Amino acid sequence: MQYQKLITAFCFHSLFILFVQQCQLTYAGKHLCARDEAFYLLQLKQGLTVEPYAYRYDCDSEAVAKTLSWNATRDCCEWGGVTCNGFTGHVIGLDLSCSFVSGTINANSTLKKLGHLQRLNLAFNELSGFPLGNSISQLTSLTHLNLSHYGNMIREMQIPAGLTNLSKLVSLDLSWHFTVGLTTFRSLLQDLTNLEVLLLDNVDVFENINELPKNLSSSLRYLSLQGTGMFGNITESQIFHLPNLQVLRLGDNPSLTGTLPNFYWNFSKSVLELDFSYTGIFGKLPDSIGNLHSLCYLNLLYCHLSGSIPESLGNLTAIRELTLSGNSFTGIVLSTISKLNKLVRLDISSNHFQGSIPESIGNLTAITELELSDNSFTGNVPSSIGKQNKLDSLYLSSNNFEGSIPDIFANFSELHTLYLDNNKFTGPLPYSIATLTRLELLYLQNNSLTGSLPSNISGLQDLRNLDLSFNYITGVTPPWLFHLPSLSFLSVQHNQLTGKLPNELKTNYVEYLYIDLSYNKLQGEIPYWMFSTSMDSLDLSHNFLTGFEKQVWHSGSLRYLNLENNFLQGTLNQSICDMISLEFLILAHNNFSGSIPDCLGNSSSVISILDLRMNNFHGEIPRFLPTGLEYLGLYGNQLRGQVSRSLVNCTSLVALDLGNNKLNDTFPIWLEKLANLQVLILKSNLFYGPIGDLESEFPFPELRILDLSFNGFTGTLPSSLFKSFRGMMDLDEENTGITQVSKSNDTDYLYHVSLVIKGNEYDMRITSIMTSVDLSSNRFEGDIPKSIGSLRSLVLLNLSHNSFRGHIPAEFTKLQQLEALDLSWNRLIREIPGQLSSLTFLEVLNLSYNHLAGRVPIGKQFNTFPNDSYCGNPDLCGFPLSKECGNNNESPLEHDDSDDDSFFMSGFTWEAVVIGYGCGMIFGLLIGGLMFLLEKPKWYVNFAEDIAQQIAAKKRKRQKKRRQRRGVRMN
């Protein structure tokens, strides 16, 4: 806003004078002030409240309450804000803008008696009610009235009709906080025949632009109607027939539509500024735009314009500020724009422009802000940009620029923002960047930069944000990275930095410091300062770090700590609990040992993500746990004993992964009350006994992943267990993928799924919710509950290696989302229900080693399963088995099986592990699915590809339906 005013002033000198120079006629002599007028002014002052030392952000910091100097012992012409006529002594100007006055100037105020008043400015105060109401019409000499930002946000403040009697008005500014009736609005435009300047920004008007009066006042030069609720088709509006218009601002009126008319408007020669930003105008930019020879400001930000930019744009040689961003413009534009050598600010980002940057761009030597981001520009960046040494911001993000970044920054003494991220730049960081003394923001992420960082820098004293992530930068981590005095954000993740971290931090501003050095090759110890300064977020995951400079951690501000996938060892010091702001503690995949400190469960703890998987923790799960836990990952340790009963207080818990320990307990049936629990993994422990009796009416209402495999559970499955797993029933396709947990606004935490294929573990991040039940390798017995059929969105079901008897429930045909079904190594009898052939998504089926009999169903999916899906069932016959079915309908025999356990580890197993991963902008909770594993590498590859696609799709919009996707894959 300020900036626009500045540009206006630049372009538009005469109006600038009109607005600002109000105090030229101050009289220097003595006692010329008319006594009665001084009295009226003092009366006016008495009726108002002044807060002399208040602060208003939109006023100059040196603004003072001008009425403070109003004192009867001095001549009123010397009072602040008062202007007198030098000959007559009459008060002709009153400027109380930014004077911290509140109250009401009502119809009885003596203000109306200042009959010679020509200029009245009450802008930027806290007044209420329109000054003088209808009696404003008594100020008959008034030529300039400024009531913008006049009071508090009361839209109902009506503009009185009396205003339209002020026939000498030349300039009227009512921006913000008023409402103008349609009649008054039309009258302002029509009856005030001397009006040159009218600003009604953010005033409620709600007028159809196509129905303005036919005889608009021809004196209008400056018309600003931004955010007034104007609507309708602009194409043939009367406004374009105003003969003297120089400035037209219609921005922020999204209901204005239509195409831009050809610029043969009456005012086309004199027009200086056009603003149609955030309107609904569409279509092409007409060729005739080149007729606007005087135009110095054009703003078309976020309209619905398209097509290519006409060559004639190059005729707008007076233009200083050009904004075309946020449209759908196409084609090659930069050589045309390079002719506009007065440009100070150019923003054409977020369009579909193409081509490379021509050398001629160097002609734009006045430019301070150049924004080309988010287009399809290609090629090298020419070194002629180096001539633009007045640049303060350069944005080239998200294009296809390639080659090395030219070493042109040595003369850029003003540059404070440099965005080169998300391109294909190669080669090393140009040295001259490190000399920029004013640079505050430097973004180079997602390129292919190589080489090492400069070992010494001479600039960057002001650098606050530095992002070098996702490049191929090598070499030793230079200490200066941590000695930038203004640093607050540093991301170098996913590079190949080596060496040790410096054991000193030298920055001025360490509050909310964000450091991400993950996915590099850093070695040695983690320096003490990382746990003692006012850091907010620290990610050192996926490096080769081996220890800590000191085992004492006491950063009171650290919220996010991720050290996973290093070689850290030793025990966890109690001081970890001194990090009282910690919400994310991720230490997975290290060699930590000892017990998990009990103090983590202190009532003051705010930890919500606690990921200690794949370490060597011993002992028991702490008796108390942070009650705000959303994720607890203890997979792959040596924990013994029982599941901590305090988990029942963790009502926000979403995922609990206790797999691969030595826990010795019965099924934690008491978790049934956790209304948010989606993932429960107990696999590979020493759990025993039956599932037990459910108490809740709706046990485990959100559960989507249940893995009890490789334990010693016994007994029959309570059929009520599956009746309430709402999370596995009719999963709303639109709602899958992300469960928003709003608590933490700047960190993504993605659950990983790891697949074990014959002993190899693969970590995969999953973006769509998969659902699975794995009860394999236990000693469950009895019938398979028919109620499993109600889990209509179940994707994976594994009941193998148990002692289930009876037949395969025909209700399984309701599992229409099922992709994999493993019932092998049980004691199931009778025929395979033919209806199972309706499970169109079923890709993997294993029924081997049961006592099934009769003909294998045929048709649809069943034509795709290999014969090892059925082996070990001697009484099955028909395709794909070699045994043909005779005519004699043998009734299947029931065998009593011997112990299966010798086949326990047949290499056919699947499992899920929920693995943590951190960092990003939103906290998304992504639940992954589990898969069967068969010797079907092709199928596995498909799955992995799907995941990659899903991640990409999520980034775009995540709207594709799973059903469609699968349909495509099957074809």
Ligand X SMILES: *[C@@H]1O[C@H](CO)[C@@H](O)[C@H](O)[C@H]1NC(C)=O
- Which of 235, 244, 503, 652 forms a contact with ligand X (CB under 6 A)? 235
Site for ligand X contains 106 (CB under 6 A) = yes
In angstroms, what is the minimal distance from the CB of 96 to ligand X? 18
In angstroms, what is the minimal distance from the CB of 49 to ligand X? 16
**Whether 47 contacts 102, CB under 8 Å:** no
Nearest to 848 by CA among 801, 778, 895: 801
**Whether 683 contacts 661, CB under 8 Å:** no
Whichever of 305 and 576 has its CB closer to ligand X, that residue is 305
In angstroms, what is the minimal distance from the CB of 351 to ligand X? 22
In angstroms, what is the minimal distance from the CB of 141 to ligand X? 23
Beta bridge mates, 345: 321, 369
In angstroms, what is the minimal distance from the CB of 136 to ligand X? 13
Site for ligand X contains 128 (CB under 6 A) = no
User: CB under 6 A: which stretch of 50-58, 102-110, 499-507, 611-619 binds ligand X?
Assistant: 102-110
Whichever of 228 and 237 has its CB closer to ligand X, that residue is 237
**Whether 46 contacts 332, CB under 8 Å:** no
Name residues contacting ligand X, limited to 406-435 (CB under 6 A). none
In angstroms, what is the minimal distance from the CB of 234 to ligand X? 8
**Whether 528 contacts 506, CB under 8 Å:** no
User: CB under 6 A: which stretch of 233-241, 581-589, 862-870, 905-913 binds ligand X?
Assistant: 233-241
Q: How many residues bind ligand X (CB under 6 A)?
A: 10
User: CB under 6 A: which stretch of 228-236, 240-248, 746-754, 887-895 binds ligand X?
Assistant: 228-236
Site for ligand X contains 43 (CB under 6 A) = no
Site for ligand X contains 233 (CB under 6 A) = yes
Nearest to 274 by CA among 313, 310, 307: 313
Nearest to 491 by CA among 457, 468, 521: 468
User: CB under 6 A: which stretch of 46-54, 229-237, 400-408, 454-462 binds ligand X?
Assistant: 229-237
In angstroms, what is the minimal distance from the CB of 73 to ligand X? 5
Residue 335 corresponds to which tokens in the numbers above?
């050589």
Nearest to 606 by CA among 539, 658, 560: 560
Sheet strands (E) in 405-499: 417-419, 424-427, 441-443, 448-449, 465-467, 489-491
How far is 444 from 459, CA to CA, in rounded Å?
17
- Which of 131, 258, 633, 929 forms a contact with ligand X (CB under 6 A)? 258
Site for ligand X contains 652 (CB under 6 A) = no
Whichever of 278 and 635 has its CB closer to ligand X, that residue is 278
How far is 874 from 853, CA to CA, in rounded Å?
8
Whichever of 257 and 432 has its CB closer to ligand X, that residue is 257
In angstroms, what is the minimal distance from the CB of 100 to ligand X? 17
**Whether 392 contacts 372, CB under 8 Å:** no
Whichever of 24 and 73 has its CB closer to ligand X, that residue is 73
Phi and psi at residue 822, in whole multiples of 5°?
A: -125, 110
Residue 836 corresponds to which tokens in the numbers above?
């199972």
Whichever of 71 and 244 has its CB closer to ligand X, that residue is 71
* DSSP, res 833: P
Scored b (16 or more CB within 10 A) or e, 333-370 reads: bbbbbbbbebbbbbbbbbbebbebbbebbbbbeebbbb
Whichever of 128 and 235 has its CB closer to ligand X, that residue is 235
Site for ligand X contains 107 (CB under 6 A) = yes
DSSP percent split of the chain into helix, strand, coil, nearest 5: 20, 25, 55
How far is 707 from 684, CA to CA, in rounded Å?
9
**Whether 630 contacts 653, CB under 8 Å:** yes
Radius of gyration of the chain (CA): 37
Helix axes 13-20, 2-11, angle to 10 degrees: 120
**Whether 784 contacts 808, CB under 8 Å:** yes
Name residues contacting ligand X, limited to 713-742 (CB under 6 A). none
Whichever of 231 and 923 has its CB closer to ligand X, that residue is 231
The dihedral built from the CA positions of residue 179, 185, 191 and 197, taken in this order, carries a sign that is positive
How far is 448 from 455, CA to CA, in rounded Å?
20
Name the 3-class secondary structure at 941: helix
Nearest to 710 by CA among 772, 755, 641, 662: 662
Name residues contacting ligand X, limited to 72-91 (CB under 6 A). 73
User: CB under 6 A: which stretch of 22-30, 231-239, 317-325, 726-734 binds ligand X?
Assistant: 231-239
User: CB under 6 A: which stretch of 100-108, 306-314, 320-328, 754-762 binds ligand X?
Assistant: 100-108
User: CB under 6 A: which stretch of 101-109, 134-142, 405-413, 845-853 binds ligand X?
Assistant: 101-109
Site for ligand X contains 257 (CB under 6 A) = yes
In angstroms, what is the minimal distance from the CB of 40 to ligand X? 15
User: CB under 6 A: which stretch of 103-111, 478-486, 521-529, 605-613 binds ligand X?
Assistant: 103-111
- Which of 26, 46, 49, 108 forms a contact with ligand X (CB under 6 A)? 108
In angstroms, what is the minimal distance from the CB of 305 to ligand X? 14
In angstroms, what is the minimal distance from the CB of 37 to ligand X? 18
Site for ligand X contains 311 (CB under 6 A) = no
- Which of 71, 262, 720, 838 forms a contact with ligand X (CB under 6 A)? 71
Question: For the residues of 696-710, what is the DSSP string, one character each?
Answer: SSS-STT--EEE--S
* Cis geometry, peptide bond prior to residue 880 (ω within 30 degrees of 0): yes
In angstroms, what is the minimal distance from the CB of 209 to ligand X? 11
Whichever of 136 and 415 has its CB closer to ligand X, that residue is 136
SS (H, E, C) 356-419: ECCHHHHHCCCCCEEECCCCCCEECCCHHHHHCCCCCEEECCCCEEEEECCCCHHHCCCCCEEE
In angstroms, what is the minimal distance from the CB of 236 to ligand X? 5
Whichever of 72 and 952 has its CB closer to ligand X, that residue is 72
Please compute, for residue 750, the number of CA atoms within 13 A of its CA located in the half-sphere on the CB side.
Answer: 20
In angstroms, what is the minimal distance from the CB of 110 to ligand X? 12
Name residues contacting ligand X, limited to 525-584 (CB under 6 A). none
- Which of 236, 763, 890, 945 forms a contact with ligand X (CB under 6 A)? 236
Site for ligand X contains 237 (CB under 6 A) = no
Whichever of 132 and 344 has its CB closer to ligand X, that residue is 132
By the criterion CB under 6 A, which residues form the site for ligand X? 71, 73, 106-108, 233, 235-236, 257-258
